[in-house]
Amino acid sequence: MPLMLSIYLENNNPFFCLAAEEYLLKNFSEDIFMIWQSEKTVVVGKHQNIMEEVNLKYVRDNAISIARRISGGGTVFHDRGNVNFTFIKNVASPSEISFTKFTQPIVEALAVLGVNASTSGRNDLVVNGLKISGNAEHVYKNRVLHHGTLLFNSGLAVLGNAIKADTGKYKSKAVQSNRSPVANISDFLSEPMQIEEFIRFLLDSQLGKTENKPLVLTEEDIKNINELAESKFATWDWIWGYSPKYSFSNKKTKQGKTLDIKLFVSKGIVQEASIGGTLFDNATSRKLEKSLIGCRHSYDDIRHMLLAVDKTITSQWIEVFF
């Protein structure tokens, strides 16, 4: 019976958790099963454009973090009502890599609780057609990392608002999320249980299937994970700059004034800019275009740049740039 290390990660910082996954994938040789949670966070896939996936104003107003993971796939939402699971396993060949191999143990565990879950497409687990889990994978050498969400008693209204974005403004070749109606696992349980009980149950459900040993992170492990979180996962270059290049266009008319914006953005930085309409005179428009080049396409950077050129511009016009 193969050895599997198991751990419940008590740190709820999303960047630490994502860094822990990569660290365990690349620096350990054993199979690993990890359960973890994070504070409110929208997590995009490695090859996604945040601008197309996230309601930026909503997450900004509601103090929701944005993170990027190392696996592909679509955008998911984390909060303390969601439970994340991660399998890290050694494989002899790529042919052994199968989503079902990793989701089936979760399906079987949920069945014990009276929850009749099944796979939908390649990435999702559903109950009565409602998505309860989104999954993704990443391969490193002879090891595969498979992780997924489990919506237990998440804030579904917050989820719906946070990952709902107007994609009509953006054009890119980024991976697009498939929007699906969602539900919480707690609504389908045969007997009520607290999320702490659910986490313990998930860990126990995997213990009997393999020789199991608790994984205890050393001080050195934690130090290295924190360093990886700070140098990669929490950085602007990874979260925003890794987005595929895209073009953006938007137009707004209010009180007889019009603002027409076109941008081309690569690695999160504005490379080309065109400003039309009647909000600014021609000289100011040209000055803004010049100032936009090299500017990060982020709310704080754009706001700072606009106010430096025109102190009278209001937030309603700043929002047109997103």
Question: Which residues have CB under 8 Å from 150's CB, separation 6+?
Answer: 82, 83, 84, 85, 106, 132, 133, 185, 202
pLDDT tens digits, one per residue of 73-92? 999 999 999 999 999 999 98
- Alpha carbons within 13 A on the beta-carbon side of 253: 2
Average pLDDT over residues 19-33: 98
Distance CA 229, CA 272 (A): 32
> Which two structure tokens, joined as six digits, stand for 63?
């103090």
pLDDT in tens, 235-293: 999 999 999 999 999 999 998 999 999 999 999 999 999 999 999 999 999 999 999 99
Q: What does 168-215 look like in DSSP terms, one character per residue?
A: GGEEE-PPPP----B--GGGG-SS---HHHHHHHHHHHHHTTSEEEE-
CATH number 3.30.70.20 is the correct assignment for the domain at 3-239: no
Please report which helix (H) or strand (E) contains residue 66, including its range: strand 65-68
pLDDT, one tens digit per residue, over 193-221 is 999 999 999 999 987 677 789 999 999 99
Does the pLDDT of residue 163 top 90, yes or no?
yes
Is a pLDDT exceeding 80 seen at residue 1?
Answer: no
Q: What are phi and psi of 249, to 5 degrees?
A: -140, 140
In this structure, what are the phi and psi dihedrals at residue 258, rounded to the nearest 5 degrees? -125, 140
What value does the mean pLDDT of the chain take?
A: 94
The average pLDDT across 85-112 equals 90
What would the mean pLDDT of 108-126 be, rounded to a whole number?
94
What whole-number percentage of the chain has pLDDT above 90? 85
The 10s digit of each residue's pLDDT in 122-134 is 789 999 999 999 9
How much is the pLDDT for 87?
Answer: 97
Spacing of C-alpha 44 from chain mean position: 3
More confident residue, 301 or 168: 301
**Which residues make up the CATH 3.30.390.50 domain(s) of the chain?**
246-321
Structural fold of domain 246-321: Enolase-like; domain 1 (3.30.390)
Q: State the span(s) of the chain assigned CATH 3.30.930.10.
A: 3-239
pLDDT digits (tens, 9 = 90+) for 285-319: 999 999 999 999 999 999 999 999 888 888 889 99
Q: How confident is the model at residue 8 (pLDDT cuts 50, 70, 90)?
A: very high
